[in-house]
Structure 1
Amino acid sequence: MLAATAALALGVPAAGAGAAAPAPAATALPALPQPNSHGLTLKSWSAVAGYGGRMADATFTTGAVFTPRGGTPWISPVQVPVTVRIHLPVGYGSDPARRYPVLYLLHGGGGDFQQWSRSDSGNVAATLAGTAFDGIVVMPEGGRAGWYSDWAGHTDGHFAPRWETFHVEQLLPWIDANFATVKDRSGRAIAGASMGGYGALRYGGRHPELFSAVGAFSGGTDLYQANAQKTIADSLWQAGAAIGWTGLLNPFFRVTGDTLYRMETVFGPQNDWPSVTPVSLALNDAYNSFNGKLALYSGGANGTGETDVHGWNRTLHENLDSRSTQHRYCTGPGEHSYQYWTGELKDFVALAYGTAPAQCPNGWGSPAR
């Protein structure tokens, strides 16, 4: 479900798939006042065809991807390009005084920075059209099996990604430096699907001072569950530190060893897992500051579909309830699929930027109590 194998089937269309519908003629992309800053070196800034200049890709190199570790790296150079896709609201830049909220939208396992924007997966431009959200969407690369972590260990080729450093310490201030954003937590939300749901819960729980709303669509919540560990361990053998097609067939990008070794490669010693496990973070009141703008969504409630994900999210919901942490929990019958996640994204932005609907998406009825 969260594994690279499942997500590959769900969220990574074939090359050339997912072209957008015709759009107005492209306009010039906004200038970037600090393109090389906050540890990032900009290599290209280019429009995505079909969006009239409102969607663009920023490609960087950064010392966070990758870091040499554990011996002489088997790849040279160790740094590889990483891309962030950015969607701008209608009329961006027309009012120099206006500042926009930012939604950081994280992709799932086996996917890449394109996953949320393709018309046959997240289709974010159409999904968010007409919703309460009128801001900037930032869709960063997170690796096929990066797990939104600063890896504690290393690949078999002696290098390691530091995705949390890239996203939180580098990309977030880079976005604020180069776009007309609301430059505090009130202007930032974070959400994601599957592995990206884990990432949103992880970043929100560890950095609540940076975000005001968190949404997890079929997200991972519990590193201690045997099925979750198998999913993660399998993804590290299948994809490891691969980014898109880079390294996917290269054995030096993979992590071999037993399940615990692979888990500790990504998340560090088992004693440290409570600090990166949402069910544990909830028991330490890590989500209290979101004041109800925390939303969990999962299918599998009828005993079919993503039943493991349903159980993991149910536990997180119960842990939040035990600490009187306000949140929205929507669940019902359903699969691990964008068929459900796009509706959940609409529901989440209504919660974060407007008024939460009385009913959950996907025909699931009222939020669970």
Structure 2
Amino acid sequence: MRRFLAAGLLTAALVAPAASAAAEPDPVSGHGLTVTDTTRPHERIVETTVSTAALEKPVRIRVVLPEGYDATAKRYPVLYLYHGTSGRPSDWTGAGDALRTSEGKDVILVLPEAGYDGNGGGWFVNWVNPLGTRQMWETFELDQVIPWVDANYRTVADRDHRAIAGLSQGGFGAMHAAARRPDQFTSVATFSGAPEIYRDPVVRAGASLVIEGTNVALNGGQPFQMFGDPVLNGVHWQGHDPGTLVENLRGMDINLWTATGLPGERDTLQSGLSVSGNVIESLTHLSNQAFRGHLRQAGIPHHFDNYVFGTHSFPYWAQDLREYLPGLMDRFASPSTPSSITYSSIDKAYTQWGWGVLVQRRPAERLTTLSGADAAGFGFVGGDPATVVTPPLYAPGAVKSIRLTRYTSTSTRNVTADASGRLTIAVPGTSTVSIG
């Protein structure tokens, strides 16, 4: 009963002012994407080919529209749904049964390509060593696709009505996006994915083998192009490892589905005896177990479904999606945001939830953390000085007393809020700031 009530409230909340029903025009270029072709392989599917300076070749974005989309003026929440290694956007509308699973649900599904023509894929990150090619997959997926979709489709363009999920490599991509951009997604799900690639040393060894194998064997690339050497460039791996960034996910709806690789009830003789299906599922199972352990250690609520018997194959991923969507619609109807912000990053400059941090350092990357940030203050963890800019939480021109504690030393000074109500506070490194 609660689920039906929530769905009804969501529908009412998303109804836009009445407009005459008409078929939507084809998507147009923008936000760094140039449209080169659009087709409609099904009455509910729009597939657009785009080129971008972020990538070496054109790629496709497949959008699954809710039933009746062209006959209404409603706006809809969005689920970004990633395919896996050697996959394509059409995988989810084929073997993944996404069309039938989304019937009767007021949600837009966006299926962006994550590789070139079914090759190994780009692992959803901007490559550290692309060797002259353009391989900026994080830029494409998060900085270009999302605003492009919001500009071309009737979405509810906010965090409360945006979710992300994926299978296998796409499961890593979904959790990576959620951990790196938690202010963009209210829910995340991974289906036989790799939500952790570095923090646990056993998982690190398996993940490195799979990632480098993907690039060398399937992409025809060189080792360490994507993340760098896991020994020499360990900090870069940390900065893109959801297991290391687990605190960034606090307040998000987190969902994990996994099996051990042992054949289960949905397997055929072929999939049950597939060496790759068994071995890869066992590796992603280790990743899920380690990631779940870090979620539990941090006290972060999550849904974890270990169905034990099952291989790395679509019958299980299709079932995972069927189980995920009803709860996701509930989440869209009743979203939640954290009351204070904790966010870690290896970047010199980053913004989340309206907070901005600029780290003054020479090394290109080093992990820093803004912790427990709210109107009353924050903590900063990092070996370098930084400038922290608050959201517009205060009256413009208000003079606030800043009490800064660094180890055993405490100092006090006044800072005036700017015309938008933001404070700019310099911190000398690891310290605690109280705002009075």
Alpha-carbon spacing, 1:280–1:269, altered in 2? closer, same or farther (3 Å): same
Q: Which residue of 1 aligns with 2:318?
A: 342
CA shift, 1:354, in A, is 2.7
Look up the SS of the partner of 1:278 in the other structure.
coil
1-structure distance, mates of 2:138, 2:93: 22
- State TM-score, norm by structure 1: 0.73
CA shift, 1:303, in A, is 10
Q: Is the aligned partner of 1:57 residue 2:51?
A: no
Deviations 1:145-196 (A, max 9, x none): 21011111114xx213111101111110011011111010111110000000
2-structure distance, mates of 1:146, 1:267: 21
Deviations 1:192-222 (A, max 9, x none): 0000000000001111111111000011133
Alpha-carbon spacing, 1:265–1:151, altered in 2? closer, same or farther (3 Å): farther
1-structure distance, mates of 2:189, 2:248: 15
Matches within 5 A, 1:1-369: 30-32=24-26, 35-48=28-41, 51=42, 53-66=43-56, 80-96=57-73, 98-118=74-94, 121-130=95-104, 133-143=105-115, 144-155=120-131, 158-224=132-198, 225-240=204-219, 254-257=220-223, 260=224, 263-264=227-228, 269-282=233-246, 285-290=247-252, 293-300=253-260, 305=278, 306-332=281-307, 333-354=309-330
Is the Cα contact below 8 Å between 1:153 and 1:265 reproduced in 2?
Answer: no
Structure 1's unaligned 5+ residue stretches are 1-26, 67-79, 241-253, 356-369
Q: Which residue of 1 aligns with 2:345?
A: none
Alpha-carbon spacing, 1:302–1:43, altered in 2? closer, same or farther (3 Å): closer
> What letter corresponds to residue 278 of structure 1 in structure 2?
P
Alpha-carbon spacing, 1:303–1:280, altered in 2? closer, same or farther (3 Å): farther
Q: Which residue of 2 aligns with 1:9?
A: none
Is the Cα contact below 8 Å between 1:154 and 1:265 reproduced in 2?
Answer: no
Alpha-carbon spacing, 1:145–1:267, altered in 2? closer, same or farther (3 Å): farther
Is the Cα contact below 8 Å between 2:49 and 2:59 reproduced in 1?
Answer: yes
2-structure distance, mates of 1:58, 1:266: 36
Identity of counterpart residues, as a percentage? 31
Look up the SS of the partner of 2:305 in the other structure.
strand
Alpha-carbon spacing, 1:347–1:265, altered in 2? closer, same or farther (3 Å): same
Q: Which residue of 1 aligns with 2:396?
A: none
Structure 2's unaligned 5+ residue stretches are 1-20, 199-203, 265-277, 332-436
1-structure distance, mates of 2:171, 2:226: 20
Is the Cα contact below 8 Å between 1:89 and 1:136 reproduced in 2?
Answer: yes
Is the Cα contact below 8 Å between 2:67 and 2:103 reproduced in 1?
Answer: no
Deviations 1:266-316 (A, max 9, x none): 99932121121111111xx111121xx210110008699422221210111
2-structure distance, mates of 1:327, 1:289: 10
Alpha-carbon spacing, 1:198–1:268, altered in 2? closer, same or farther (3 Å): farther
Greater gyration radius: 2
2-structure distance, mates of 1:325, 1:39: 36
- State TM-score, norm by structure 2: 0.62
Is the Cα contact below 8 Å between 1:151 and 1:268 reproduced in 2?
Answer: no
CA shift, 1:265, in A, is 7.5
2-structure distance, mates of 1:164, 1:266: 19
Alpha-carbon spacing, 1:267–1:138, altered in 2? closer, same or farther (3 Å): farther
Q: When you count strand as a share of all residues, which structure comes out higher? A: 2
Is the Cα contact below 8 Å between 1:196 and 1:219 reproduced in 2?
Answer: yes
Alpha-carbon spacing, 1:256–1:330, altered in 2? closer, same or farther (3 Å): same
Look up the SS of the partner of 2:76 in the other structure.
coil
Alpha-carbon spacing, 1:166–1:261, altered in 2? closer, same or farther (3 Å): closer
Look up the SS of the partner of 1:216 in the other structure.
strand
CA shift, 1:127, in A, is 2.5
Is the Cα contact below 8 Å between 2:23 and 2:71 reproduced in 1?
Answer: no
Alpha-carbon spacing, 1:330–1:82, altered in 2? closer, same or farther (3 Å): same
Q: How much is the aligned-residue C-alpha RMSD, in angstroms?
A: 2.4
CA shift, 1:345, in A, is 0.8
Is the Cα contact below 8 Å between 1:151 and 1:266 reproduced in 2?
Answer: no
2-structure distance, mates of 1:345, 1:95: 26
Look up the SS of the partner of 1:86 in the other structure.
strand
Look up the SS of the partner of 2:71 in the other structure.
coil
Deviations 1:58-78 (A, max 9, x none): 111100112xxxxxxxxxxxx
